[in-house]
Chains A and B, each alone.
Chain A
């Protein structure tokens, strides 16, 4: 096990990383939806 794993810092970092990835994905989905709508006219 990595010595960092299992600490509070690591636990909070996991949440932050997942939330950031999720927000990025939501933004990408939103953008691709708009792009498709624009292409469809």
Chain B
């Protein structure tokens, strides 16, 4: 059996990127891929287990997440896991002796990948993310012996439940060559009631041990291709790092859809391989290989490009532009935007420019006159620029020379706008400067969305400036972006969990609030956990925010397809949205004269690192912790 070494490195890289990005082990891809590449299924499972073990060691060494381990729970579960892995391996070897291992394991993969992807697609189309609420019943099972798990805060739980959980995930691991974390982690949280941070640490501990046990058991049967596992490991370790970084730069509620699609295509590839083996169609095997590597490769390429562009976008220099540009088409919502732009210009002393894009049937002189009347009624004056062409393109072109673009947007949308996007959405998608999309003239509550711990200080500064201009209250929100697979079911997280997972330092967060308070803006903090798009909109609605401030992020090939976070918020918020351009350092593109430190310490604030959490500090903060459930 010969497999191309570069193909193995590439496979490891693809699996690593997807695993890091989606927050899963990546085993679901490697075992079928090795099998499709020509490795017998028992070898594919053994080799993948060795590869998973290596990957989990890299993850543990780099993140040192085992600090939140419940060793007692881990040890009990390992007993079940070891038995489960052995049972899984025996099943594979028995099937292999009967000559049916390949087809049975492939059938399970088709069912598992196909079923999960169909369920996720159904959930995506239904547009909901329901939580799991049946954990309590199993926890009350009183089959002796009962054990206590003090590190997880569980006074009494049946040992059989813990062993059973270990056995099921172990068997899955031994039979399919997967880590099993996608079942173990939610099961620990919902069935046993283990806190999320402890579940993450214990899950990693279990993956290391179950894959190590699996590797030993399969190697004992000479079913591990050591060289193949060693070749895949560097690619997957680097890929997992890039994938995890990608979650910071690529957002979009449709990511779940793409995850489901990747799994569905993987299921289809396995089905093609099955057809090739059963019916002897040689071309089906080539098609399976093409489909698996094509879909995984395309998704990987998208994530890598988005990540690289996102990282590059974070380090570009400051835009020197200044002044307010207001786009006017003469409509009611455009006039509303003009009034707001004029107020901003008057209160900040910035110059105001009106842009009128000539459209068929438009009386330009009338629009100019009416626009100037509106601006002057607010006590401002403006220079008028008239252009001809497609409105979105002209607005984008002109906005390059200004620090802030203000444009109106209406609530009701035509079918064409639904399909192609409104002008405001098109502008935000390709924005050249900080953009305020206006739907309402009132701004008394400003919701600033920050991405901790490496938040962009410009977003907070722009939020503070706009709150100061309108005398508004400020709320800073951080949505904990859990890996996508764990987003499928909402996990319960407390503020302490958030701080532990992200190693955030409360004093750094207090400094964010003090920045606002130093400017005379009343501010508080809110944490949510789940899908950022959904949680930001929910918080805005519940708090009654009239303006959402967020950074321009998530652009690249994948965002072109699924839309960025800012586009999603602009499309669905129904309230004013301020999107701060990635090159801006404040509301008008240049460092603001903040009393709390001024432009001089902008660099320091940019490098605000929130490491080294001290739990006793947390209790003194009094932040609001918002839970989704």
The B177-233 residues at the A interface (CB cut-off 8 A) are 212, 215-217, 219-222, 224, 226, 229-230, 233
**Is the CB–CB distance between A19 and B237 below 8 Å?**
no
Task: Say what secondary structure dominates the interface of chain B.
Answer: helix
A10-41 near B? 1/0 per residue, CB < 8 Å: 11101101110111011101100000000010
Contact B220 A11 (CB under 8 A): yes
Closest to B217 in A: A11
Residue in contact with B237 in the complex, picked from A8, A14, A25, A40, CB distance below 8 Å: A25
State which of A6, A8, A17, A26 has its C-beta within 8 Å of the C-beta of B58: A26
- Residue in contact with A6 in the complex, picked from B215, B221, B233, B315, CB distance below 8 Å: B221
Q: Are A22 and B221 in contact (CB under 8 A)?
A: no
Q: Kindly provide the distance from the CB of A30 to the nearest chain B CB, expressed in whole angstroms.
A: 7
CB distance from B39 to the nearest CB of A (A): 15
> Which of A5, A8, A15, A23 has the most CB atoms of chain B within a 10 A radius of its CB?
A15
Contact across chains for A23 and B57 when beta carbons are under 8 A apart: yes
Complex contact B53–A19 (CB within 8 A): yes
Q: How far is the CA of A29 from the CA of B63 in the complex (A)?
A: 12
User: What are 6 A-B contacts with C-beta separation under 8 Å?
Assistant: A6-B219, A10-B222, A15-B216, A18-B57, A25-B234, A30-B62
A21 to B51, CA, bound (A): 11
B333 to chain A, nearest CB (A): 43
Contact yes or no, A17 B212, CB < 8 A: no
Contact A12 B216 (CB under 8 A): yes
A1 proximity list for chain B (CB < 8 A)? 222
Closest A residue to B51 by CB, please name it.
Answer: A18
Is A15 touching B57 in the complex (CB atoms < 8 A)? Answer: no
B83 → A minimal CB distance (Å): 18
A22 to B62, alpha carbons, bound, how many Å? 10
Cα–Cα distance between A18 and B232 once the two chains are bound (Å): 11
Q: How far is the CA of A10 from the CA of B221 in the complex (A)?
A: 10
Structural contact, B219 and A10, CB atoms closer than 8 A = yes
Question: Main SS of the interface on chain A?
Answer: helix
B62 to chain A: which residues have CB within 8 Å?
Answer: 26, 29-30
Count how many chain A residues have C-beta atoms less than 8 Å from C-beta atoms of the other chain: 22
The 6 closest A-B pairs by CB, nearest first: A26-B61, A11-B219, A6-B222, A22-B57, A5-B222, A22-B54
Q: Please tell me if the beta carbons of B58 and A15 are within 8 angstroms of each other in the complex.
A: no
Contact of A14 among B58, B61, B224 (CB under 8 A): B224
Given contacts A14-B226, A22-B54, A25-B54, 4 further A-B contacts (CB under 8 A): A14-B50, A15-B53, A15-B219, A23-B57
Chain B 452-505 interface residues, beta-carbon cutoff 8 Å to A: none
| Residue in A7, A8, A19 whose beta carbon sits within 8 Å of that of B57 in the complex | A19
Chain B min CB distance to A8 (Å): 6
The reply to whether the CB of B238 lies closer than 8 angstroms to some CB of chain A is yes
B139 at the interface (CB under 8 A from A): no
Nearest chain B CB to A32 CB, angstrom units:
9
Q: How far is the CA of A17 from the CA of B224 in the complex (A)?
A: 13
State which of A7, A8, A18, A27 has its C-beta within 8 Å of the C-beta of B229: A18
Q: Is the CB of A22 within 8 A of B50?
A: no
B233 and A25 contact, CB distance less than 8 A:
yes
In the assembled complex, B55 has its CB within 8 A of some CB on chain A:
yes
Using A22-B55, A22-B237, A29-B241 as known contacts, say yes or no to A14 and B215 having CB atoms under 8 A apart. yes
Write out the residue numbers on chain B whose beta carbons fall within 8 Å of the beta carbon of A26. Answer: 57-58, 61-62, 237
Contacts of A5 on B, CB cut-off 8 Å?
219, 222
The contact of B226 among A7, A8, A17, A29, by CB within 8 Å, is A17
